[in-house]
Every structure is written in structure tokens, then in C-alpha cells.
Amino acid sequence: MFIKNRILVVTAWVLLLVCLLAMGYSNIIHHEFLQWDDAAYVLDNPHIKQLSFASLQWAFLDYYFYNWHPMTWLVYMIEYHWWGENALFFKLINLTIHLANSCVIAFLTIRIGGIYIARDRLQSSSDSNSLLISSFFVGALFAIHPQHVESVVWISELKDQLSGLFYFLAMVAYLEYHRLTVKKIFWRNLFVTFFMLSLLSKASAVTLPPILVLMDLLLLKRVTLSKRIFLDIFSLVKEKTVYFIMSFCAVALTFFAQPTQSLEKTGLATRIVNGCEAILHYWTGFFLPLDLSPFYPFSATSMDIGVSSLYPVAIVGVMLVIALASMARKHNEYSFAFFFFLISILPVIGFIKVGQQSAADRYTYIPMAMVYVGIGLLLCGVLQRCYGKTNKNIVIYLSLSLILVFNLWQTRLYVPVWKNDTTLWSRVNLLYPNQVTTAYMNLGNIEFSHASYDSAMEYYEQALMIDASHIQTLRNKALTLEKKGLLQQSMVTYQLLIDSNEDSVVALRKGAEGFERLGKYELAVRYYSRALQLAPHSNNLLYKSAYSEHLYGSHNRALEKVNLLIARVSAHKEGRLLRVVLLLELGNIKQGLELLSVLKAEYPQDKKILDAFKKVQKEMKNRNSLVRG
């Protein structure tokens, strides 16, 4: 099969890709924003709702919702500016970027395949056509694979799409830099730009520098077996020092933004076993994408370490041996795909941080990319061997079509799961009944939002049967009891929340907030103070602690805390207003009025400040009238 007009063929393939994506993802027209991260990222995020210098400054200089990815925030700002709170358009942007990523993966297949064909023999038209067909198949498979549904339809995973796009483009630029003898500075600068944009989109791009070293070794063959091999490898690493430093900075920023868990809580053995199980889960999901879930709980094998826990570790070990053996047999393209996966999956595999979830399909978006390329190169070899054999070619093309149809069908079945919070968490409970606390809690939250408090309580009780000390569920249960007017039971639940998680800042803060709402200011003061001891640098806790002291009537202690807060953050508006209130309570009316006048000048439209100013003026007028009388 000869392909002559390649521009026409590529155009037709891209249009076919658009049609496949339209068939697989057509259900997104009925989708909504999810409370799971979408609300925090978009709906309840005031910073993305305006395009201004202040919002850009926030994106680059502040942490928000445990993340630092300014490029992602910038795109959210643009999306919100154009479409407001229209979930469909947010998802269409994700889908468009995914289409672009699929095209880049196809191009990477051509570029990497070209390296091996050129190395082994002169490239013929059959080689070229086989590689082009293989790349088309790889791009289409990447586009419609069910493992990518989570990254595409979940609005909060825009960062996956953006980071992936710039990551893959950086790889293309790096290959072009070493492949071409002209415009080398252009390609090097383009690589640096794409790498920076990838880091600014999501910190998982920190794996790119070691991937470049891997490309040098296995793809570009910049090191040969000799006595100087280790010195040569060291020189390759040294050559990329700037990129490693950039990655280190991104890791540091992410470390400060993300809360971490101690090894003692989960156990190193649990992390290792779970990491190996996650690797097997991702590879199984790639070849047989059935029963995919938005949430995967830990298995008994990883939580209860025993002899059976050795099986996933042993299987991963065998995979590693096969990859090394593949290198020995000069099949570096397949070894590259496996080691690319291992390196790029490391930040999210669970060795560093483990939460309630053992794995997530969105984590495969970049790591599995070179597996697609490896399959494309394997297919290219098969097509070359079957060149001119019509019967075999028919079987191959029919098999490829069936693979695409199967994956397209599974994607079409899985996309509706992400329609809303109810469909999402119902799917988790269907696959993992009585296992996932978060699923029952979130279904309870949905009932709570509809004021169905009895139904919400049923879900919260089910969640607590799985994890009796679950912080968010206990807090939500207590809040529901508040709404039902069962205040004594609510107080007991808040106390249980704190007693079950006495070393948790989050539990202490949520318990203190509950006691404050219930008017138990002494308890609120006590637990805010304890939380502040555990997190002394938290400005938010310092303000809340000062405010609770004020409500309790300890105005002097409250003033000490609020003065410390303002010394840390001089522009803290709420803290400055609280200081005014405290000064007025303590009888220092003149100073309080002066500070309030300054606040009014800075925030002329702030209703709280205006109301406070009017109230003070009225009190001053009444006091002057009494004096004159």
C-alpha cells in the first residue's frame, strides 16, 4: 500500500480522529461541574473569575487548593472570561487539547520509528508507509482509550492535558534538536520553552530531565559501551543541570503547597506493595480497560502485608527483567517505553504520598504515552514483514479496527459516569460496595445540599461504618445534626471528631468551627489554640483563634493575636477590621476610628467596613450628644 499525497491523508486522518472523539465523548453535553475539585478550582475560586494583573500575580505567587500551577490557572481565567460557568465549554477545551496530544503522540511515533529504521537500513517507501499507518493507529488509540476519560472529562484535570501537551512537544523539540544540523538553537530554545510551560501546568513534568537522559541512552545512542560509559552518562546528566534545577524548584514549590503524610501512617511496606499493584493496575487497564472507576481503594494485599503481598512485587520485578533483556537484544524502543513509564509514574505512584486512593487512571496520561509509541513501532515491524501479503494485511487491519471499536465502545460507556456527582460516586459504590468512605460521604453531601437531612445521615453512617474517625464525614454528620436542631448530639459528634483525631489540625479546626457556631466559645478557643500549636505559622488559624477569643470576651488576648497576624501580613483586611472592633471594645475609640477610616479609604465598596464605619460614627454622635446634654 503506497501513500502518495500525505498532506491529504493526514488531513483525512485528523478529521477521522475528530469523528471518533465526537462519538466517544458526545455525552459530555449533559455533564455538570463536579463538587469533587471542580467547585474549588472554578466555581468557588474568585481568583479565576477576572483577567487582571492581580489575578496573574496570584496565579504565580500564591498556593491554592494544595497546588501551584500558574499556567493552568491562566487557562481557567480565559475559559471563565469567555464562557462563565458553562461546564460544556470547559470540557470541550479539554477535549481539544486531548486531540492535539493525540496528534503529537502520532508524530512522536514517526520520529522515534524513523530513528530505528534509519539506524537499521535505508528507508524504503514500504518502511515509510508502514510507519505512517502505525502512527495513525497509535494516535487514534491514544485519543479514544478509556483510560484517558478521567483526564478529558474532569474539568479539574485540565492540568493533565496542558502539562501533557507541553511535555510531548518538549520531547519532539529535543529529538529535532539532535536530529537536525540546522536551526539547533531554535529547537533548543523551543524545548526549554515547552519544558517550562509543562512545569507551570503541573509539577509532574519534573520527570522530563531524567527522561532526556533515557532518550540519550536508548534512542539517540549518545553513549556506547566502553570503559568510559559511566563518565559519559555523568556528562549527559551534567549537560542537563539547568533542567534538573528547574525540576527541583518545581518539586520544592509543590512540596510546600501539598500536605504530606508520614511513613508511619501508611507504612513503607504498604507503599511499596501498593506501588507495584498500581503499576499492574495501569498495565491491565491499558490492555483490558474494563470496570474503570473514578476511585480505587487500597487492596487487602497492600494493607495487610503477608506472603500474598509478594506477588505484585515479583511480577513487577519480572517486567523489569524483561525490559533489561530487551535492551540486551537491542530492542531499545520497547525498553525505552517501559523505563519511561517507570520514571514518569514515580511522582504519583504512592512512595512519597499515599491518601485513600491506591491508583487513579488520570496518572497514566503521560507515563503510558510511550507504551503507545512502542506498540506503534511493533505494529510497524509487523506491517513491514507482511508487506505485499494481502490476506495477512486484511487480518491485521481488521484486528486494528476491532481494537479501536472496542476501546471506543468502552469510552462511550464510561463517559456518562462523569456526568455529575451522583453518577460518579454511585459508580464507585457499585464496583466497591462498603469499601470507599469518600463515596458514601459525597453521596451524603449531595442529599445535604438538597436539604434531605435524613438521607444524608444514612450515607454518613454508612461511611463511618467503614472509617469511624473519618474527619470530613464526622464534621458533615455534626453539621447535619445542627440543621436538624439536634444540638446536643451535634456537640457530641464534634467532640468525637476531635477525640478521634487529636493530632490533626484539620479535625481541631473543624471541631472548633462547630463549637463556635453552637455558641460554645470556651471550647472553640481551646481547640483553635491547640490547632495553632500544631500549625503555628498558619495565618488563617491565627485569625480564627483571635476571633474566637473575641467572641469569648477575651479581648486582650484576641488583640495580641491579631497584632501578631498583622505583623505577619500587614494587608490582612479581616484581621485589620477585627483589630478595630477589639480597640473599640477595649475603649480605645479614637485609634479604632482612625484605623477604620484608613480601611474605608482602601476598600470604599466593602459593605462590612462601611457598616462598621457608620455604626462607630453613630455611637460617637450619640456619645457627644450625651456629653453636651
Q: What is the pLDDT of residue 516?
A: 94
Measure the CA dihedral 553/557/563/568, to 10°: -120
The count of residues in the chain is 629
Rounded to the nearest integer, the mean pLDDT of the chain is: 87
Quick check: helix, strand or coil at residue 118? helix
Cα separation of 131 and 127, whole Å?
A: 6
Q: What are phi and psi of 296, to 5 degrees?
A: -115, 115
CATH topology of domain 422-628: 1.25.40
Does the structure show a pLDDT above 70 at 261? no
Cα separation of 247 and 253, whole Å?
A: 10
Give the start-to-end residue ranges of the domains of the chain: 24-259+268-293+307-418, 422-628
Cβ atoms 444, 429 nearer than 8 A: no
Q: What is the pLDDT of residue 120?
A: 55
pLDDT tens-digit readout, 201-211:
998 899 999 99
Q: What is the pLDDT of residue 481?
A: 95
Indicate the range of 191-205, 352-366, 394-408 predicted with least confidence.
Answer: 352-366
Cα separation of 72 and 75, whole Å?
A: 5
Full DSSP string of 2-49: ----HHHHHHHHHHHHHHHHHHHHGGGGG----TTTHIIIIIT-GGGG
Q: What is the pLDDT of residue 266?
A: 61
Cα separation of 497 and 468, whole Å?
A: 9
Express as a percent the part of the chain with pLDDT over 90: 56
345: amino acid identity, one letter: I
Quick check: helix, strand or coil at residue 358? strand
How many other C-beta atoms lie within 10 A of the C-beta of residue 176?
17
Quick check: helix, strand or coil at residue 124? coil
CA 311 to chain centre: 29
Q: What is the pLDDT of residue 485?
A: 92
Cα separation of 251 and 274, whole Å?
A: 23
Indicate the range of 106-110, 138-142, 515-519, 592-596 predicted with least confidence.
Answer: 592-596
pLDDT tens-digit readout, 510-521:
999 999 999 999
pLDDT tens-digit readout, 508-553:
999 999 999 999 999 999 999 999 999 998 889 999 999 999 999 9
Cα separation of 448 and 440, whole Å?
A: 12
Q: What is the pLDDT of residue 591?
A: 85
pLDDT tens-digit readout, 439-484:
999 999 999 999 999 999 999 999 999 999 999 999 999 999 999 9
Q: What is the pLDDT of residue 376?
A: 93
